[in-house]
Amino acid sequence: MTTRYTFGGDEHIFVECSDEMSLDAFFRGMSITNALRDAQIKGVTEICPANASFQVRFDPDVIAPDEMMRQLQALEAVAQAAPSTLNTRIIEVPVYYNDPWTHETGQRFRERHQDPTSTDIEYTARINNLDGIEGFIKAHSGAPWFVSMVGFVAGLPFLYQMVDRDRQIQSPKYLRPRTDTPRLTVGHGGCFACIYSVRGAGGYQMFGITPMPIYDPNQTTSYLRDFMCLFKPGDIVKWKPIGREEYDHTVAEVDAGRWQPRIAPVTFSLEEFRKDIDGTNARVMEALND
Amino acid sequence: MINVLKPGLSTTVQDLGRPGYYHIGIPTSGGMDTLSLAAANLLVGNDAGAAVLEVVFLGPELEFTADAMVAVTGADLPPKVDGVEQAGWTAFRVNKGQVLSFGYLKKGARAYIAVSGGIDVPVVLGSRSTYTLGALGGYLGRKLAAGDVLPVGASAADGEGRAVPYHLRRMPGAPAELRMLPGLYWHRITEEAGATFFEDTWKVAPEADRIGYRFKAGRPLDFVPRTPPFGAGSDPSNIVDACYPYGSVQVPSGTEPIVLHRDAVSGGGYMMIGTVVSADMDLIGQLQPHTPTRFVKVTMDQAIFARADRRNTLRAIAAALA
């Protein structure tokens, strides 16, 4: 894994930790961006972690591009020495899988899909050798997921499944992007899950919907009053399958300002995870019950 | 206050933007042509970064409920007060009860209407700019509609007749030239594709908005063969989803380049071959669909020189109006 540095015009440095996705690449980016934040270099205006890369925006009137590059590269050694441990939180996200709204949207754009005769969830179950919708839900919700990037649009999390690579759910994006996706759709493209924070265009497969808003520019949602976006990179997510009744109930509770997501602090160690994936995941998910 | 009688095609409140939240997908927003935006403000005695109205192609009709000084910069979209045409890039008075309207667009794409005192919508995350995709900032997070009432800040409303000198009114040439620093995933395209990209004259596609500008009519780009990296996707233009710099030039499937602008999607899965330099971002905002456009390869030194040049233009405007 060789870190690659490149300028994005005169205001950005783009750093690719690896051209392929892995938790190792994400953690390397996380530790360098943390070191960069701590270094408080004058002229750095934005630090954006991504899945296997990150981006730094700087003001070239304050720090010359070459000097910015030199200081950033010097931090890589500092970051490498840092322990791959993260004090973070686990958030339980209720999901109504195979719901009527994403199903209806999927049918409307069926001619843009790889398999027009099937649904997104049936198709993805089949190409991943999972036992139908039930088998898919079990695989999707059985292990936690890492928020490895927040972006595309406001507050949208990209999530990386915390299982061996050969067990990761993978699916292609639609052949042509849809012009519509319901707000709070739980989607999937490549090896990444996402939650659409707003209604809009999208190319990811659609598996279900969460009743839990994750972006609220008006900040009236009870748990988004301090900040309008719920997720940040490094958060861990546990999907909780729910049915129609719990979905409707949760929507009503959210609207009434009474609902709070289940969130618990948790420590995640990459070394521990490498040694014992299932054991680490069990410990991380158990934190929700403390 | 200002009563919006007709909203125009897509009129939004913008200032110099909302930096600091790109890491969670909220782009900077702000005027696409910030040089014209700043000039409009300076003409009416505002701070360069006060909130103005950004107008696209078709002007609004606005009724003023108080006297104000107004200036319209950027695109050549002739302003009229109660039907009487006014000069662009020049401060003019609009009295209480008068209506500001516009003639047909002659040149450019976006005009900036500054009103003395500034458009006084609430500040959200440090800015009054509108980010429509996220329903954030500006006037209720959206473009203007008939019946909207815009609050305006207090002001002295003087300086009538002041104008920005002609040589400081920066607009794209014909063909438009956008300077670009190659980089990012440049290595993914072949040497020949790298050459044709700069040789070809592209045309602005109809899909051109505040998120990004798409270009067509150039030769498709060939890719260096590879085995798709895990998580990237099978198309040769796919990458593991990453951040997109402002001004970055992505080329999905190697066919139509897209330059991301102030309302950029903050990341995604398409490789980018370089970035339009910060100094030329303003020019993109003035490109109409079908405008012939060339990308000009530059070095970092040239990019920094262009940046200084743009800054000097803004200083000269401020000095001329002081």
CATH 3.40.50.2300 fits B176-312, yes or no: no
Please give the Cα distance from B184 to B188 (Å, whole number): 9
CATH architecture under which domain A4-82 falls: 2-Layer Sandwich (3.30)
Does the pLDDT of residue B89 top 80, yes or no?
A: yes
Please give the Cα distance from A284 to B4 (Å, whole number): 54
**What pLDDT is stored for residue B148 in this prediction?**
98
Rounded average pLDDT over B113-124: 98
Tell whether A163 lies on the interface with B, counting CB pairs under 8 A. Answer: no
Does the pLDDT of residue A1 top 80, yes or no?
A: no
Q: DSSP string of A190-211?
A: BTEEEE-SSS--B-SEEEEE-S
pTM of the complete model? 0.94
- Sequence-distant (≥ 6) Cβ neighbours of residue A40 within 8 angstroms: none
Q: How confident is the model at residue B141 (pLDDT cuts 50, 70, 90)?
A: very high
- Sequence-distant (≥ 6) Cβ neighbours of residue B116 within 8 angstroms: B44, B45, B46, B68, B69, B70, B155, B156, B157
Chain A contacts of B134, Cβ < 8 Å? Answer: 153-154, 198, 215, 217
Burial class of residue B224 in the structure, from the number of CB atoms within 10 Å of its CB (0-12 exposed, 13-18 middle, 19+ buried)? exposed
Tell whether B217 lies on the interface with A, counting CB pairs under 8 A. Answer: no
Unique residue bearing structure tokens 């798709």: B228
Number of residues in chain B: 322
Interface subset of A 14-43, CB within 8 angstroms of B: 14, 16, 18-22
Token pair recorded at residue A74: 């010097």
Q: Are A4-82 and A87-289 equal in CATH topology?
A: no
Our CA-based measurement puts residue B217 at a distance from the nearest CA of chain A, in whole angstroms, of 21
Identify the CATH class of A87-289.
mainly beta
pLDDT in tens, B30-73: 999 999 999 999 999 999 999 999 999 999 999 999 999 999 99
Interface mutation target, options A2, A3, A13, A14, chain B, most CBs of B under 10 Å: A14
The answer for B206, left when phi > 0, alpha when psi is -120 to 50, beta otherwise, is alpha
Unique residue bearing structure tokens 């009474």: A258
pLDDT in tens, A228-266: 999 999 999 999 999 999 999 999 999 999 999 999 999
Interchain contact, A153 vs B278, CB within 8 Å: no
Our CA-based measurement puts residue A71 at a distance from the nearest CA of chain B, in whole angstroms, of 17
Rounded to 5 degrees, φ, ψ at B180 are -135, 135
Rounded average pLDDT over A177-197: 94
Q: Out of B133, B183, B268, whose CB is closest to A200?
A: B133
**What pLDDT is stored for residue A282 in this prediction?**
96
Chain B contacts of A198, Cβ < 8 Å? Answer: 133-135
A168 DSSP assignment:
S
Burial class of residue B111 in the structure, from the number of CB atoms within 10 Å of its CB (0-12 exposed, 13-18 middle, 19+ buried)? buried
| Residue B317 vs residues A161, B286, B320: alpha-carbon distances, Å | 54, 19, 5
Does the pLDDT of residue B107 top 90, yes or no?
A: yes
Q: What is the separation of C-alpha A78 from the centre of its chain, rounded to a whole number of angstroms?
A: 26
**What pLDDT is stored for residue B256 in this prediction?**
94
Q: Are B71 and B40 in contact (CB under 8 A)?
A: yes
**What pLDDT is stored for residue A77 in this prediction?**
84
Please give the Cα distance from A59 to A42 (Å, whole number): 9
Please give the Cα distance from B60 to B55 (Å, whole number): 8
Does the pLDDT of residue B301 top 80, yes or no?
A: yes
Please give the Cα distance from B29 to B170 (Å, whole number): 21
Local structure of A2: helix, strand or coil: coil
Q: How confident is the model at residue B156 (pLDDT cuts 50, 70, 90)?
A: confident
Please give the Cα distance from B73 to A78 (Å, whole number): 49
Rounded average pLDDT over A172-186: 90
Does the pLDDT of residue A156 top 90, yes or no?
A: yes
Q: Which segments of B222-309 are extended strands (E)?
A: 238-243, 248-250, 258-260, 267-270, 272-276, 292-297
Q: Out of B23, B245, B247, whose CB is closest to A150?
A: B23
Token pair recorded at residue B181: 């620093």
Local structure of B278: helix, strand or coil: helix
Rounded average pLDDT over B278-283: 98
Domain ranges in chain B are 2-168, 176-312
Token pair recorded at residue A221: 């949602």
Q: Are A186 and A242 in contact (CB under 8 A)?
A: no
Token pair recorded at residue B207: 């899909």
Interchain contact, A217 vs B183, CB within 8 Å: no
Q: What is the separation of C-alpha A104 from the centre of its chain, rounded to a whole number of angstroms?
A: 25
Domain ranges in chain A are 4-82, 87-289
- Sequence-distant (≥ 6) Cβ neighbours of residue B11 within 8 angstroms: B53, B54, B55, B56, B60, B143, B144
Rounded average pLDDT over B261-277: 96
Number of residues in chain A: 290
- Mean pLDDT, chain B, as a whole number? 96
- Mean pLDDT, chain A, as a whole number? 94
Q: How confident is the model at residue A274 (pLDDT cuts 50, 70, 90)?
A: very high
**What pLDDT is stored for residue A201 in this prediction?**
86
Indicate the residue type of B54: E
Residue in chain A nearest B306 by alpha carbon: A10
- Listed in sequence order, the DSSP H helices in chain B are 34-43, 191-199, 281-284, 300-321
Token pair recorded at residue B203: 């045309």
Interchain contact, B184 vs A6, CB within 8 Å: yes
Q: How confident is the model at residue A42 (pLDDT cuts 50, 70, 90)?
A: very high
Kindly report whether the peptide bond that precedes residue B175 is cis, defined as omega within 30 degrees of 0.
yes
Adjacency order of strands within the sheet including B68-76: B12-14, B52-56, B107-115, B68-76, B92-94
